[in-house]
Amino acid sequence: MRKLLTGNEAIARGAYEAGVHFASAYPGTPSTEILENVGLYDEIIAEWAPNEKVALETVIGASIAGGRALAAMKHVGVNVAADPLFTFAYTGVNGGAVLISADEPGMHSSQNEQDNRNYAKFAKIPMLEPSSSQEAKDMVKIAFELSERFDTIVMIRLTTRVCHSKSMVTLEDRLTVQPKKYEKNFNKYVAVPAIGRQLRHKVEDRLNKLKIFTDETNLNMVVDNNQSKGVIVSGMAYQFAQEALGDTVNYLKLGFTHPLPKEKIDDFCQQHETVYVIEENDPYIESFAKELGHKVIGRDVFPYTGELTPDVIRRAILSQNIESLTVNEDKVVNRPPTFCSGCPHRGFFYELGKKRKKIIVAGDIGCYSLAVGQPYDMMDWLICMGAAYSTGHGAQTITDLKKDDDRRLVSVMGDSTFFHTGINSLLNTVYNGGKTINIILDNRITGMTGQQDNPGSGYKLQGDSAQIGDIKAICKALGIKHVKKINPNDLDEVKATINWALELDEMSVIITNWPCVLKKRYKEEDFETYKDMWQTQDTVLQDTCTGCKACLRSGCPSLVFDKEKGKMSIDKTTCVGCDVCLQICPFDAIVKVGETA
């Protein structure tokens, strides 16, 4: 049977066919859909973890216990998981273990562009790079075989276009793999220094065996088109190169890229007059070839950043530009990214913006980072997940040293990010006696990556009901004395609470609690807790509206200004009745549908 699958769906299918027992991840583009699709297979226990480090640690435990286990994360997530990864590279596995790293050349949704092939080299573990959905599925199965054969975790590195592009995949049956017997093994799994020094030699011995394997495996192969020019390529860049250059060159297609195949690269370079290395992100293969003494062409002609799409390759090698349609830019409407209609973050940022001269705002990763743009302009910086509270504390410490600066640090973070690493970040402020104002924008879901569940949502990945993590109770348990939970759609309550926090000379936490309008699953009690949630709509009384546009400061995309009439209106297809614009209007021109002023 054949089926059209994305690379992420194919990875999930590969896990199913490989007989995987357990999988864990933290959502992050472009890797998110891997676990969502793994979760569709009842044969696999699939879980969201609060962060990537925890995800990998649970996979390590599952592997040691004898199960086949898979962890998935985006490239920056591997930074969070690096600590257990490097030690697990020493101990090795019992049941097979695979780490999926989804890199993002071009940074479509990420804060940086890092090449995680370097992690495989750094951790001294084998790495595979699929270039299509079929290879993605097949390589998962191969990776588990290699993991158990060489006693190591194996990394599969994807890039955005492999993750999200669709191609045909041949489906196969699931392997019957029983979890292996667990036996206590102090000298393998207890990584105290005395054991670690012994395991260090084991890592090098394994690497020497892998160097032989990489030159033998047909995962690294030559595509011979009887040409004098050659291209060395891996991953999605192989598909890009084929589309741009076709059969005008020969290819050394690398699917097993750590360790790199020395003999195959030597032979390929010696047999071709000119050799290009086409790879996205870092010159990983190019540097290796040059260390072997070959004059390959890579960064000499290719850009050092972004995706190496066919047009980029043609321009670099053939000096050709692809013909494209001309667009009348005067007719293109500039549409900056914005919060959704009814987003519960909107009212909070509207009120916080009124204090702009009194505060500095430390941001974090999540859909609330959209407050960096107009009309809010609310972020002074944004570094990485979980950093808002700790960077805010550091900045407040220095600001307090300045006699001419009495501004307060407001650190902003979402509920999923709070569970990710925000708890640690907040505890640091408690421990060191900070006085920052710390916001938890609890919309009860992981919003930006597509409404995945988290420890505060009340549901597990595969739909089972779960204990809800009580954020307010956690904050109290950390030792924070001043904690308030508020409805962010009630602007009077938001305003009063911000003023309360600003008047305190101690740290505080404000939890804005209202569900994301896109949340997939609700409990019955949710509709009792959040009165009239998404059950009403607002409308503009045309006779009362003066066209002052004050309501547009809410930033809601459901608000429409008619230039000819000089009046506002509300899009009935998107309004969910959050009432934020209703409270902003100075002329009471916005009311609930069915009501009058």
> What tens digit of pLDDT does each residue of 321-371 get?
766 677 777 777 677 778 999 899 999 999 999 999 999 999 999 999 999
Compute the distance between CA of residue 253 and CA of residue 117 in angstroms, rounded to an integer. Answer: 16
Compute the distance between CA of residue 79 and CA of residue 56 in angstroms, rounded to an integer. Answer: 12
Compute the distance between CA of residue 208 and CA of residue 468 in angstroms, rounded to an integer. Answer: 48
- The whole-number pLDDT of residue 336 equals 74
- The whole-number pLDDT of residue 597 equals 56
Spatial strand order of the sheet with 127-128 comes to 45-48, 22-25, 69-74, 97-103, 154-159, 127-128, 256-258
Task: Report whether 449 contacts 27 (CB < 8 A).
Answer: yes
- The whole-number pLDDT of residue 361 equals 96
Residue by residue, DSSP assigns 517-583 as TT-S---HHHHHHSTTTTT--EEE-TTT-----GGGGG--TTEEEETTTTEEEE-TTT-----HHHH
Per-residue pLDDT band at 472 (split at 50, 70, 90)? very high
- The whole-number pLDDT of residue 295 equals 96
Question: Is the pLDDT reported for residue 494 higher than 60?
Answer: yes
Per-residue pLDDT band at 374 (split at 50, 70, 90)? confident
Task: Report whether 446 contacts 418 (CB < 8 A).
Answer: no
Pick from 277-286, 468-477, 520-529, 572-581: least confident: 520-529
- The whole-number pLDDT of residue 524 equals 83
Report the percent of the chain where pLDDT is more than 90: 87
Neighbours of 524 (CB within 10 A): 7
Instruction: Report the 3 state secondary structure along 266-299.
Output: HHHHHCCCEEEEECCCCCHHHHHHHHCCCCCECC
Please report, in angstroms and rounded to a whole number, the separation of the first and last CA atoms in the chain. Answer: 62
Question: Is the pLDDT reported for residue 521 higher than 90?
Answer: no
Compute the distance between CA of residue 199 and CA of residue 55 in angstroms, rounded to an integer. Answer: 24
Tokens of 88: 């697990």
Tokens of 380: 């002074």
- The whole-number pLDDT of residue 319 equals 83
> What tens digit of pLDDT does each residue of 375-424 get?
898 999 999 999 999 999 999 999 999 999 999 999 999 999 999 999 99
- The whole-number pLDDT of residue 33 equals 96
- The whole-number pLDDT of residue 330 equals 78
Over residues 283-289, the mean pLDDT reads 97
Question: Cα angle at 593 between 589 and 597, to 5 degrees?
Answer: 35
Over residues 236-241, the mean pLDDT reads 95
State the number of CA atoms in the 13 A half-sphere of 217 facing the CB: 25
Instruction: Report the 3 state secondary structure along 381-396.
Output: EECCCCCHHHHHHHHH
Question: Is the pLDDT reported for residue 596 higher than 70?
Answer: no
What interhelical angle do 193-216 and 262-270 show, nearest 10?
A: 30
Per-residue pLDDT band at 185 (split at 50, 70, 90)? very high
Task: Report whether 252 contacts 220 (CB < 8 A).
Answer: yes
- The whole-number pLDDT of residue 332 equals 74
Question: Is the pLDDT reported for residue 541 higher than 60?
Answer: yes
Residue type, 13: R
Over residues 295-301, the mean pLDDT reads 94
Neighbours of 6 (CB within 10 A): 21
Tokens of 503: 């008047």
Q: What is the mean pLDDT of the chain?
A: 94
Task: Report whether 410 contacts 440 (CB < 8 A).
Answer: no
Per-residue pLDDT band at 50 (split at 50, 70, 90)? very high
Report the percent of the chain where pLDDT is more than 70: 99
- The whole-number pLDDT of residue 209 equals 98
